[in-house]
Structure 1
Amino acid sequence: MFTDHFDACDYLKIQFFKHLTVVSLILGTIMATTICFIIWVLFITDTVWTRSVRQVYEGSDPEDWTVHDFDCPRECFCPPSFPTSLYCENRGLKEIPAIPSRIWYLYLENNLIETIPEKPFENATQLRWINLNKNKITNYGIEKGALSQLKKLLFLFLEDNELEEVPSPLPRSLEQLQLARNKVSRIPQGTFSNLENLTLLDLQHNKLLDNAFQRDTFKGLKNLMQLNMAKNALRNMPPRLPANTMQLFLDNNSIEGIPENYFNVIPKVAFLRLNHNKLSDAGLPSSGFNVSSILDLQLSHNQLTKVPRISAHLQHLHLDHNKIKNVNVSVICPALPTTLPAEQDSFSYGPHLRYLRLDGNEIKPPIPTDLMTCFRLLQAVII
């Protein structure tokens, strides 16, 4: 058993270097050095998982790391090297076993579980991560206090279940809620009112209609940054989104238009996906997508006949598979300010567009020369 995170890394390095000579003979010194560097980078990459594991070892008393077989559910696996993890996936379970108090990470995906009662979690006060993907859980099967009692829970995965509405109540501590590929068509009022720490909400591939939303549906989501509602049945843009939304994914719906000034309420949106909808020129705001925060705009597979107005800050624009016949550069080229700061020239201060996709339209090559003159940072144009 490793005594701390850094001992674990040292052990892995020692094992790697034992075989480095053989690798060097085969691949050469340069190749071996490259492999060594890549493996080392992978071990120290600061992902959510490595941060969480580091917190386990740095924030716990080493005396508490001893794994006692008697508290490990017989249906599950308790790895000695990760004493805060409990693996119960792919076991045909119909019920959630009693969760030991030492567990932070719980894996229950791909079982036959239909209910989430309170009792199995009554001692699991340290849980940070629950994966219940690919089960048969319904809203009626979730006991009211089962999830809200988990005061330290950060990540909840309930993808590929039988949910018809967003479950509630949920713990205030929650940061990510994954509900993709359910049957969600309802979001009860007040569902998100206490989820001020939620940063990611994934509702893709459900059965959401426009009537699922009220003006205050997303009230309380003060820190939400990523909202995914792709592959639903929306015809309109959802109302009153959280102000801090940075990534908005609405592809594969039936959205026909975007209200005037819609983006005023989400001034930080940087990544906007509206591929595979029914957007037409008449359905766009008069200013198009001239929103300074947007860096990546995806409008593929719609019904546009012309390139919409864009911001000088936009870097990636996807317009493939529309009905566009020509590119009017005089309309879409963002105008430069009449006066530039002394330290800036027109090249560095001009439009930032680097990638433009126009294939699948009615545009014929060659690329218009004035397009390249306007967007001088363009690295790729696909027609």
Structure 2
Amino acid sequence: MKQAMPSLPASCFLAQTAIACNNIKMKHVPALTDPSLTTFYLAENEIAKIPAHTFLGLPNLEWLALSKNKLDTQGLHPHAFKNLTWLKYLNLDRNSLSTVPAWPDSQQELQLNDNLLQGLQRSSFQGVVTESVLKGSHSLSMLVFNNSRLQEDQLAPRAWIDLPPQGLQCLMLHHSLIECISGYMFAHMKPGLGFLHLSHNRLRADGVHGMSFHGLRASLAELLLDHNHLQAIPRGHLGLKGLQVHDSNRISAHLENNLIDQRHIIPTAFSCSQASERGPPAPAGEEGS
């Protein structure tokens, strides 16, 4: 166990390489200097501002949980995570962020569920850690933007163009207001996404055309389009040769709870599927998130 630190509230839990200060009505991140600290839980507090040098004394931090606070884009300094060159997991769920913050090249998973994102443009992923944040983020494997109120005109065709081609494996956009997927949005990705989750949106059949999933033909193993407004199997779906069958009865293309008349599904709609037991990665959990 660590010894108590003067800048930490007494209710914080201290372990050898971790500190947990969840749900203690904390209003700011305490100033700490501890190169051995790798995990810092600050979920369910009242933190509204994170200045530029907040984490300067924690250079080896790998896991940072800031979900359920009061952060907005003005309160989160663009340089807040600049020195965290070992950071792998960052949870910013349930705040009030309107833009995607910059993060270091080491980042593997970013969670931004339940925020107020105003759109995803190419500039959303350009920041201060490198000239273009995602251009150097070769470790990033998962982006999670569920419940972020994104609309169809806020998902730019070139939004992901600076993503490293071999990096991102899973993109989650559940519970938003997306009505269409622009053509060639994922065309630069090689080998491409393995898991694309678009459940609980407003997708229509005419909003998903033949080129919407171009670039994912061989790689996509799971496509979630359930709980949308589709009246037919999207044309772009028919060319996805990488979709897998998890068992004899369940395919990894989910289209349930749409407006599709099953009598009009052609027999060859899923003929490209192959047997596999591959499953999607699950977002990492945290205490108090």
Shift of 1:193: 3.7
Match of 1:240 in 2: 185
- Alignment correspondent of 2:284: none
Q: Which residue among 47, 63, 69 is the counterpart of 1:113?
A: 47
Q: Deviations over 1:121-144 (max 9, x none)?
A: 111101001000111100000112
In structure 2, the residue matched to 1:212 is 154
Distance 1:328-1:201 versus aligned 2 partners, 3 A rule = closer
- Work out whether 1:250 is the aligned partner of 2:198: yes
Whichever structure has more helix as a proportion of its residues is: 1
Q: 2:230, 2:259 within 8 Å by CA — same for their partners in 1? A: yes
Partners of 1:327 and 1:219 lie apart in 2 by: 34
**Contact (CA 8 Å) 1:166, 1:186: kept in 2 or not?**
no
> Is contact 1:76-1:87 (8 Å) kept?
no
* Aligned residue in 1 for 2:4: 69
Q: Residue by residue, what CA displacement relative to the aligned partner does 1:64-117 show, whole Å, maximum 9, x if unpaired?
A: xxx3434672355343xx311011111000111013322110000000111111
Aligned-partner Cα distance in 1 for 2:115–2:67: 10
- Contact residue 242 and residue 274 of structure 2 kept, 8 A: no
Q: State how many pairs are aligned.
A: 251
Quick check: 2:224–2:253 contact (8 Å CA) kept in 1? yes
**Contact 1:89/1:109, CA 8 A, preserved across alignment:** yes
The SS at the match of 2:143 is strand
Is 1:231 matched up with 2:175? Answer: yes
Residue among 44, 62, 67 paired with 1:133? 67
Report the Cα distance in structure 2 between the residues aligned to 1:188 and 1:325, rounded to whole angstroms.
Answer: 39
C-alpha spacing 1:247/1:120, structure 2 compared with 1 (3 Å): same
2:105 paired residue number = 172
- Distance in structure 1 (CA, Å) of the matches to 2:256 and 2:54: 47
Cα distance in structure 2, aligned partners of 1:139 and 1:333: 43
Query: Aligned in 2, Cα 1:157/1:280: closer, same or farther, shift over 3 Å?
Result: same
What is the CA deviation profile of residues 330-371 of structure 1, one whole-angstrom value per residue up to 9, with x for unaligned ones?
Answer: x55849xxxxxxxxxxxxxx97599xxxxxxxxxxxxxxxxx
Secondary structure at 1:141 match in 2: coil
Q: Which runs of 4+ in 1 moved over 6 A?
A: none
| CA drift at 1:268 | 0.6
Instruction: For residues 204-230 of structure 1, give each alpha carbon's deviation from its aligned partner in whole angstroms, at most 9, with x where no partner exists.
Output: 111111222333211232210110001
Identity %: 22
What are the superposed Cα offsets for residues 35-68 of structure 1, whole Å, 9 maximum, x if unpaired?
Answer: xxxxxxxxxxxxxxxxxxxxxxxxxxxxxxxx34
Partner of 1:289, secondary structure, is helix
SS at match of 2:90: strand
Q: Which residue in 1 is equivalent to 2:90?
A: 156
User: Partner of 1:145 in structure 2?
Assistant: 79
Asked if structure 2 preserves the Cα contact closer than 8 Å seen for 1:137 and 1:163, the reply is yes
Cα contact 1:236–1:256 (8 A) shared by 2? yes
- Identify which range, 253-262 or 158-167, moves more after superposition: 253-262
Corresponding letter in the other structure for 2:213: F
For residues 257-278 of structure 1, give each alpha carbon's deviation from its aligned partner in whole angstroms, at most 9, with x where no partner exists: 3211433311311000000111
Q: Partner of 2:45: helix, strand, or coil?
A: coil
Say if 1:299 and 1:122 are closer, same or farther in 2 by CA, change over 3 A.
same
On the 8 A contact 2:118/2:150 being kept in 1, the answer is yes
186 and 90 in structure 1: CA distance in 2 versus 1, 3 angstrom threshold = same
Q: 1:225 to 1:90 in 2, by over 3 A?
A: same
Task: Decide which of 94, 101, 104 is 2:27's aligned counterpart.
Answer: 94
Contact 1:115 1:137 in 2 (8 A): yes
Alignment of 1:225-304 (within 5 A): 225-237=169-181, 240-241=185-186, 242-243=189-190, 244-257=192-205, 258-266=208-216, 267-281=218-232, 284-285=234-235, 288-295=237-244, 296-304=252-260
Higher relative contact order (CA 8 A, sep 6+): 2
Report the TM-score, using the length of structure 1 for normalisation: 0.60
**What is the CA distance between 1:279 and its match in structure 2?**
1.3
- What CA RMSD, in Å, does the superposition of the two structures yield over aligned residues? 2.6
- Checking the alignment, whether the CA contact within 8 Å between 1:86 and 1:106 is kept in structure 2 is yes
